[in-house]
Amino acid sequence: MSKRFSDKIALVTGASRGIGAAVAKALAAEGAHVIMIARSVGALEEVDDAIQNAGGTATLVPMDLTETDAIDGLAAPLLERWKKLDILVGNAGMLGKLTPLPHYDPKLWEDVFRLNVHANCRLLRALDPLLRQSEAGRALFVTSDMAGQHKHYWGGYSASKLALEEMIRTYAAEVSKTNLKVNLIDPGPTATKLRLAAYPGEDQTTLPTPEDRAHLFLNALAEDFTDNGTLIRQTA
């Protein structure tokens, strides 16, 4: 029986843990070859071991996406090996610090925007030609309900996610007459390290796991999902 993502080439950022790792494993289990990007080599190898043990395949790309110039080098080897990219999942993100805006460390503020916004812009710049080579390219970027809420102390994270949303919706409009579909996803409260850093007193055993959320991503990355420029939101 053919798997849902057989012969698809997928790239997932922040793939060493949490939602990124869960989505990478789920895509691989459904037949995709997954290119996994994250800073930690050891953690990527653990995810790769799990994928291989389940019969899937992956390529590991250890990379610090805050070093945005390095992103430009992604396209050439992907073009040479696969000629296309079917799926892009922009999952890597940084919380920064929950603090009043006047107290925000300038370098940390820049790092938050560098990962949450600028890295995704550079990914689009590098990978747009490859996504357009796919018969049904899909790009999905992770946002949060904190975008636009103006909640005390969340300024860095919420502002970066709001900027991401505007950027991705603009890109979606620009590719609207192609086979490429570009969307945003808010997976809702999930038991991740980022969530734990934001809510250290929360009992994470009461929250859905990253694996629980992976199906939301796969549904939005499937060929039969033809929305473009939308925000898929899980509220509970």
List pLDDT tens digits, range 76-134.
999 999 999 999 999 999 999 999 999 999 999 999 999 999 999 999 999 999 999 99
Q: What pLDDT, on a 0 to 100 scale, did the predictor assign at position 234?
A: 85
User: Which residue type sits at 97?
Assistant: K
DSSP 102-116: GG--HHHHHHHHIII
Count how many Cα atoms sit within 13 Å of the Cα of residue 51 in the half-sphere of its side chain.
Answer: 28
Q: Percent of the chain at pLDDT above 90? A: 97
Q: Indicate if the pLDDT at residue 172 is higher than 70.
A: yes
Q: Residues with catalytic annotation? A: 157
DSSP state of 119: H
What CATH superfamily is the domain 1-63+80-112? Answer: NAD(P)-binding Rossmann-like Domain (3.40.50.720)
Chain-centroid distance, C-alpha 75:
17
- Binned at pLDDT 50, 70 and 90, residue 1 comes out as low
Strands of the chain, DSSP E: 9-13, 33-38, 57-62, 87-90, 138-142, 181-186, 231-233
**What is the enclosing helix (H) or strand (E) of 230?**
none
**DSSP conformation class of 25:** H
Model confidence, pTM = 0.97
DSSP 68: G
Per-residue pLDDT, 24: 98
